[in-house]
Each structure stands twice: as structure tokens, then as C-alpha cells.
Structure 1
Amino acid sequence: MDDVPTSPRLTFRRMHAADVDAMARLLGDPAVMVHYPRPKTRDEAADWIAWSERNYARDGFGLWMLHDRAGEFVGECGLTWQRVDGEEYLEVGYHLLPEHQGKGLATEAAAACRDFARTRGIGRLVAIIVPDNHPSKRVAQRIGLVLDRESVTSKGAPIHVYAADL
């Protein structure tokens, strides 16, 4: 059994290459990717899965597939190391299919990931959010993260960094 977070309404599991159809649907959805430069292609979704698999091998965690208790794929959520202003931070990230947004599932998943990080001795958690992504900011705030600073990505795009000590 994988070492994964748990929550009342969701199951978490590691991504595998066989998940490319589901991940291409999620990451290729313009509504899901509205705060990214563009939706991802199927090949980019496969690369996303491969990146997640490398994270599992290196860190023991990464982005996990999310399913509701009936087994329906709803999105992804997890923990990845990200560089901000020259320093490495553990970020909680989440993407849900549009039909599953607005039900508190992102908050539930992100809280489970926060708790998972805490039990592994992680001292600080961040969420890196583009300034106009208000739903993502609300999720971060609901799990106890607060605006820590404004910064820019390596490509110069503005970001807000929400953070909390665990």
C-alpha cells in the first residue's frame, strides 16, 4: 500500500503512466488551466506523471490522483518541492475537474496533504498562487496558510506565496 494522505470523501493514490487519459483530461481543460500559460498537451500530461513518479522515488511523496469514494476521478493534489526566490519550499498544489469544484474537495485534499507533510517533519508549507486565482487563495487560507510575500517566477510572472509553519 502506498503511503498517501487520507480524507473523509477522497482517496489518494500515486500516479502511473496508465493515468495519462485522466491527467490529459484534467491538465488539458482550459477552465482548470486558466491560471497557466495554456492547457497542457497529452505529451505534457505524460511528462507531468513522469515528474510525479520521480518525486515519489526521491521524496516518498508527490502529486496524487484524487478519486471520490465512489471511484470517480476528481483531480490531483499533493506536495512538491518548488524554488521561490532562490530557496526550496514544499508546496501543496491542487487541480480539480470543473464539475468537482466548489464542493470543498480541494480544501479537504489540501488539508490532508498539509497534515501528511506535518507528520513527516516538514517545518513549512507554501502555496504558490497567481494573484488573480482567488479560489486557490481561499483554499490556501482555509488550510491555515497566509500571504507571506509577493514575488515573481523565474520567467518574471507575478506570484503570491502563501505559507505557514507546521
Structure 2
Amino acid sequence: MDGVGGRSGTDGERVRLVPWSEEDLWLLRRTNSPGMTEHLGGPEGEERLLARHRRYVEPGPGRMYRVTLADGGETVGSVGYWQRAWRGTEVWETGWGVLPEFQGRGLAVRAARAVREVARAAGSHRYLHAFPGVDHAASNAVCRGAGFTLLGQTDFEYPRGHWIRSNDWRVDLQRGD
């Protein structure tokens, strides 16, 4: 598969999801800034970045993607989904990041909608969750715009050893909402 398309309504820029590859380490490094990781516990050291990159490249349950503009192919960020045990069942979890110069254009919503459809097609779990911090207005707006339902607040550990108060957003992949 060379990529998956995504669009929000009929207006706006289309995005394409390109499966993460060895050549995408630069994007992890670029997004490893204080501004981009403020709600995720801060920047990671090089060793942790390399380990995360390796997980993104290796096949496993779920998948990470580089998000590009469908017209022109310029990289705008990343999105993915992965397996997680949550409240006694296996679910998909999703997360995204859009480079600062591309924020505010609805691209994260389009990428979240596209990855939602990829997770639906994978068929192995009924639910896709996102857990943005309650104070992360932009990511909560992405969840709303991408059709997730807010289930409430929860304490969530990310990264390991760092607890945050998060909203639990969910999409039912079987019902299509």
C-alpha cells in the first residue's frame, strides 16, 4: 500500500497516510521539541527516539504513518494507531502530531479521520480511543472534529511514569460512529 487518503467534507486540503519507513526518523526528531511534546511529558532522549522509531518501522498490531498533503506530497505530520489494553478489553489507541507551520488548517482532523478508517478496516478491535490531556484544547478539538465521542475524564499514564488527566474519546468502529 502506498498510502491512504483522507478528507474532511468537500472543502480543504486532502491528506495522504504513508506507512512509516526507515527514512522517517527525521520527522520524529523534528517533532521532539518542547512545543510539540508539551502535553506528552516533554522531549525524549535520542535513545528513546530511536527505540520508538524502531517500533514504528517494525510490523505489529496497528501502524504509524507519515501524513502528507495529497497534492504535492509535502510532509505535515504523523498519525497512527496501536493496540492497548483498556478497561478489561483490547482496543486501538490513536495519536497524531502536525508540524507547527501546518497547524490550524484542519489537517489533524483529516488525518484522524483517515486513520480511523484504516483501523476500521483492520477489523480486529471494536473501539478506537484517543486520550488527549483535558487541557490540550487543540487535540480535544481534533477528536470532536474527527467524530469521536467523549466518554469522560480519566487518569492516564504517558509516557511511563508520567500521569496526566485525560479525556477518553472513543469511536465505535463496528457501528461506524
TM score, norm. by length of structure 1: 0.85
Alignment of structure 1 residues 58-77 onto 2, 5 Å: 58-59=60-61, 61-68=62-69, 69-77=71-79
Question: How far is 1:117 from its partner?
Answer: 1.8
**Unmatched runs of 5 consecutive residues or more in structure 1:** none
**What's 2:49 paired with?**
45
**Distance in 2 between the 1:78 and 1:148 partners?**
21
RMSD of aligned residue pairs (Cα, Å): 1.9
Q: Percent identity?
A: 25
**What's 2:102 paired with?**
100
Question: What residue identity is the alignment partner of 2:171?
Answer: A
Q: 2:62 aligned with 1:22, yes or no?
A: no
**What's 1:132 paired with?**
135
**Distance in 2 between the 1:30 and 1:86 partners?**
34
**What's 1:36 paired with?**
40
Whether the 8 Å CA contact 2:68–2:75 is kept in 1: the answer is: yes
Alignment CA distance shift 1:11-1:164 (3 Å)? closer
Question: How far is 1:86 from its partner?
Answer: 4.9
Q: 2:158 aligned with 1:162, yes or no?
A: no
Whether the 8 Å CA contact 1:82–1:89 is kept in 2: the answer is: yes
**What's 1:80 paired with?**
82
Aligned length: 161
Question: How far is 1:118 from its partner?
Answer: 2.0
1:111 to 110, 113, 130: 113
The SS at the match of 1:23 is: helix
Alignment CA distance shift 1:152-1:86 (3 Å)? farther
**Distance in 2 between the 1:72 and 1:142 partners?**
23
Question: What residue identity is the alignment partner of 1:109?
Answer: A
The SS at the match of 2:34 is: coil
**Distance in 2 between the 1:86 and 1:119 partners?**
23
**Distance in 2 between the 1:138 and 1:71 partners?**
25
**Distance in 1 between the 2:33 and 2:148 partners?**
27
